[in-house]
């Protein structure tokens, strides 16, 4: 057999070898295609996860902003215990600046904070009511408003935030029975005539009735402040 002569058996062996090589190459090609598909899918999932994580971060940030935006808000609750995140403000207690830093920061920017001596003076003058914060001891604590047994109203332009308004009765007058010239008039069985003159105090008193202050129908709930 010469160098370039190939027997039938050699040819068969070559064909088998080429077939094996081609099969291997096909297998490698299929693997590479599957790998590309896996990588593409992984990249897509990674991108989706990255987007989800970014959305979650934004949501958390917005929630934190919303929570911070409600610090200082007054709310009322139908139980006698303040819910989580709230402090009761029916007594105006001293609270820690370190424990409630967000509320302390709010108080400082509220334009509604006074010295503790002024706060106590308002409490004494206004039946235990004060709508303001105080600086407390000046270093470690501060006071919340004291809103027990008081109705809250919306302020108008020109009225200071947290200011107290005491009881008032709307200015008014009463009329007494009148008479015409020449007619008789009087009270009960006593009859007088218009041509008669009386010298002295003619005022009459209707007596008094009612409670110690003017109130409206009301239901007591617990006032709280968001911290």
At 177, is the pLDDT very low, low, confident or very high (cuts 50, 70, 90)?
low
Q: 186 with 192: CB under 8 angstroms? A: yes
Q: Which of residues 37 and 208 earns the better pLDDT score?
A: 208
Sign of torsion over alpha carbons 147, 151, 152, 157: negative
Write down the pLDDT at residue 209.
Answer: 76
> Under a CB-based contact definition with an 8 Å cutoff, are residues 90 and 144 in contact?
no
Dist. CA 200–CA 7, nearest whole Å: 157
Q: Domain segments of the chain: what residues?
A: 17-69, 74-160+220-226
pLDDT at residue 62 in the model: 67
When mean pLDDT is compared across 87-91, 103-107, 145-149, 190-194, the lowest value belongs to: 190-194
The DSSP bridge pattern shows strands 222-226 and 74-77 to be antiparallel
Pairing of strands 94-96, 86-88: unpaired
Report the share of the chain in percent with pLDDT over 90: 36
Which residues have C-beta within 8 Å of that of residue 82, sequence separation ≥ 6? 88, 222, 224
Provide the pairing of β-strand 190-193 with 94-96.
unpaired
Rounded to two decimals, what is the model's pTM?
0.58
Mean pLDDT to the nearest integer, 143-147? 96
The pLDDT > 70 percentage for the chain reads 61
Please say if the pLDDT value at position 204 is more than 70.
Answer: no
User: Of 174 and 80, which is predicted with more confidence?
Assistant: 80
Strand partners, 141: 96
End-to-end CA distance of the chain: 100
pLDDT for the residue 64: 63
Mean pLDDT of 69-77: 91
Q: Tokens 């897509």 appear where?
A: 44
């Amino acid at each position: 057999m010469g160098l370039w002569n190939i027997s039938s058996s050699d040819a068969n062996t070559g064909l088998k070898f080429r077939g094996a090589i081609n099969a291997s190459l096909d297998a490698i090609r299929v693997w590479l295609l599957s790998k590309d598909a896996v990588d593409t899918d992984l990249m897509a999932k990674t991108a989706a996860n990255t987007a989800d994580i970014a959305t979650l971060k934004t949501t958390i940030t917005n929630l934190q902003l919303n929570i911070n935006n409600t610090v200082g808000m007054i709310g009322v609750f139908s139980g006698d215990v303040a819910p989580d995140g709230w402090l009761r403000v029916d007594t105006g207690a001293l609270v820690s600046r370190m424990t409630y830093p967000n509320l302390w920061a709010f108080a400082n920017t509220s334009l509604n904070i006074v010295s503790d001596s002024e706060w106590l003076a308002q409490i004494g003058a206004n039946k235990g009511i004060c709508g303001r914060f105080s600086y407390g001891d000046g270093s470690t604590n501060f006071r919340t408003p004291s809103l027990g047994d008081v109705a809250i109203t919306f302020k108008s332009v020109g009225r200071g935030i947290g200011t107290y308004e005491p009881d008032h009765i709307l200015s008014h007058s009463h009329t007494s029975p009148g008479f015409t010239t020449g007619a008789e008039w009087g009270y009960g069985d006593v009859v007088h005539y218009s041509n008669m003159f009386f010298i002295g105090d003619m005022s009459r008193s209707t007596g008094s009735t009612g409670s110690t202050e003017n109130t409206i129908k009301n239901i007591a709930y617990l006032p709280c402040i968001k911290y």
